[in-house]
């Protein structure tokens, strides 16, 4: 009996070792022939190996991103509480969640991106960064109401997409940005319908409230050759730097 027990334990160890080996090299599996362990050494088809690796990679990436989101929101909530802003933060998150028809975690991520919390977290909660609390809840609700009922008439899904790209422009003064951007928009985007169509495709266009092609070059500073510089230094808010990309083109020979 003792001998039989040892043989059983040995067989279990053999099976375990062979299983690990098969998993490591992508073999088809194990089988028994007349009580003896047989390892099928024929490799799995390459496309199946690739599929398995892709699934594992996606699962790992999803777990990593989920972990980051959870850790970020936990850190933000902790810091917001220390600032005495928990009520304001939760009110804002609930308002955004209702507007985009989602859970509060997604709404909090939009707030975190809009008010500087993601950079603060990614830089290990740097003390020199000063992320902000959301604006007055009344103004936030007014902004969200304008986005859904105003000329843009954004659906919850459309607003969710916009907040994922450029949350601050949509959560703080979107009506003011809309009129400023439309006033200086290039001709092809200068009508409300054309501008709305662009915003659905390129939400960041709401933040383009400047157009250096409409300003006077004589009012610009001079370069070392005595010529006015070719821009006003507001490139992140300027139509000229973004329009070529909207049109599938280039700016000054450089892809943008």
DSSP state at residue 85 = -
Q: What angle do CA 29, 33, 34 make, to 5 degrees?
A: 155
- List Cβ neighbours of 174 (8 Å cut-off, separation of 6 or more): 143, 146, 147, 152, 206
Averaged pLDDT, 169-180: 98
The fraction of the chain above a pLDDT of 70, given in percent, is: 67
Give dist(CA 39, CA 18) in Å, integer: 7
Reported confidence tier of residue 250, pLDDT bands at 50, 70, 90: low
**What domain range includes position 204?**
173-256
| Count of the separate structural domains present in the chain | 2
**Which of 25-29, 38-42, 142-146, 222-226 comes out lowest in average pLDDT?**
25-29
- List Cβ neighbours of 177 (8 Å cut-off, separation of 6 or more): 169, 206, 207, 209
Q: What is the pLDDT of residue 248?
A: 82
Q: What is the pLDDT of residue 60?
A: 56
61 and 133 assigned to the same domain: yes
Q: What is the pLDDT of residue 85?
A: 97
60 and 142 assigned to the same domain: yes
Give Rg (Cα) of the chain.
29
Residue 239 lies in a domain: yes
**Which of 55-69, 169-183, 194-208 comes out lowest in average pLDDT?**
55-69
69 and 130 assigned to the same domain: yes
Residue 45 lies in a domain: no
Residue 18 lies in a domain: no
Reported confidence tier of residue 11, pLDDT bands at 50, 70, 90: low
């Amino acid at each position: 009996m003792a001998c039989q027990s040892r043989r059983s334990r040995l067989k279990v160890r053999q099976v375990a070792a062979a299983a690990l080996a098969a998993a490591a090299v992508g073999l088809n599996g194990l089988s028994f022939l007349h009580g003896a362990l047989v390892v099928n050494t024929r490799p799995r088809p390459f496309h199946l190996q690739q599929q398995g690796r892709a699934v594992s990679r996606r699962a790992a990436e999803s777990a990593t991103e989920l972990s980051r989101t959870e850790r970020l929101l936990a850190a933000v909530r902790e810091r917001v509480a220390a600032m005495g802003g928990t009520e304001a933060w939760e009110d804002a998150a609930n308002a955004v969640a209702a507007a985009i028809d989602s859970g509060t975690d997604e709404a909090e991520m939009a707030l975190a991106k809009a008010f500087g919390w993601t950079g603060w977290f990614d830089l290990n909660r740097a003390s020199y960064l000063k992320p902000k609390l959301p604006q007055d809840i009344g103004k936030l609700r007014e902004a969200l109401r304008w986005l859904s009922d105003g000329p843009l008439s954004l659906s919850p899904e459309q607003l969710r997409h916009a907040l994922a790209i450029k949350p601050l422009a949509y959560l703080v003064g979107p009506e003011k940005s809309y009129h400023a951007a439309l006033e200086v928009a290039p001709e092809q985007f200068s009508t409300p319908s054309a501008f709305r169509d662009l915003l659905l495709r390129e939400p960041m266009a709401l933040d383009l409230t400047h157009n250096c092609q409409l300003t006077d070059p004589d009012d610009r500073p001079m370069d070392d050759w005595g010529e006015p510089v070719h821009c006003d230094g507001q490139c992140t808010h300027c139509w000229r730097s973004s329009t070529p990309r909207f049109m599938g083109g280039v700016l000054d020979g450089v892809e943008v």
